[in-house]
Chain A
Amino acid sequence: SQKIEQNSEALNIQEGKTATLTCNYTNYSPAYLQWYRQDPGRGPVFLLLIRENEKEKRKERLKVTFDTTLKQSLFHITASQPADSATYLCALAPSGAGSYQLTFGKGTKLSVIP
């Protein structure tokens, strides 16, 4: 069965460091992958999208990589700030008719310590 794993439930890092979150998948051939941020008691907010033929995407302090050989995406936040503390979700979708449905990982809760 299809499976998405985000490396850990929680990640604590020091302010100013780079946070790296991992999303691994098995039995899946996604056409694209998305990352969302979710604050407690709120709905997720879209951050970045990367397609299967793209290796890397950047947006301000955020960087996403996508390695279809390793079946893995890495999500980096550089110069992390306490305001970056949140749960980060990865979501994958196949191409074609199934692209309506995003499959979400369980999320990684990031805490940036001042």
Chain B
Amino acid sequence: DGGITQSPKYLFRKEGQNVTLSCEQNLNHDAMYWYRQDPGQGLRLIYYSQIVNDFQKGDIAEGYSVSREKKESFPLTVTSAQKNPTAFYLCASRDRGWLAGDPGELFFGEGSRLTVL
């Protein structure tokens, strides 16, 4: 089945540690996104990538880093510089049709819940 796989589903981190969240998709989508969701908040964009080897900061990129070495993969690293990393992280992808004005839907993974101890 085509889709997006995020791992791990649950992750615990000690303060001062970097952690990496995995996101893999087999939908052949060019664009991939990382969102953060906090209770009572909407989804906020961390980073997005429209094509391999290119990515852009979203609204809340500070304390996070990403890479896009393969079309299928868009890992997110939560660094020790992120002051409040406890949150639910969602990875999404979209077909490149939006570049031609066809909006298209976002396909989301099941999320990764990060807790800082």
Contact = CB atoms under 8 A, between A and B. Distances in A.
Interface string A73-114: 000000000000000010101010001111111110000000
A59 interface: no
Given A46-B106, A49-B105, A100-B98, A106 B42 contact: yes
A93 B45 CA distance: 13
B110 interface: yes
Interface residues of A, number: 27
A93 B103 contact: yes
Interface residues of B, number: 27
Contacts, number: 59
B105 A89 contact: no
A44 B48 contact: no
Interface of B: 4, 6, 31, 35, 40-45, 48, 50, 58, 90, 92, 98-99, 101, 103, 105-111, 113
Given A36-B106, A91-B43, A101-B45, 14 more contacts: A31-B103, A34-B103, A41-B111, A43-B92, A43-B108, A43-B109, A46-B107, A49-B103, A91-B106, A99-B99, A100-B48, A101-B58, A102-B106, A104-B42
27 contacts: A9-B40, A31-B103, A32-B103, A34-B106, A41-B113, A42-B110, A42-B111, A43-B6, A43-B109, A44-B43, A44-B90, A44-B108, A46-B106, A49-B105, A89-B42, A91-B106, A99-B103, A101-B45, A101-B58, A103-B42, A104-B42, A104-B43, A105-B42, A106-B40, A106-B41, A106-B42, A107-B42
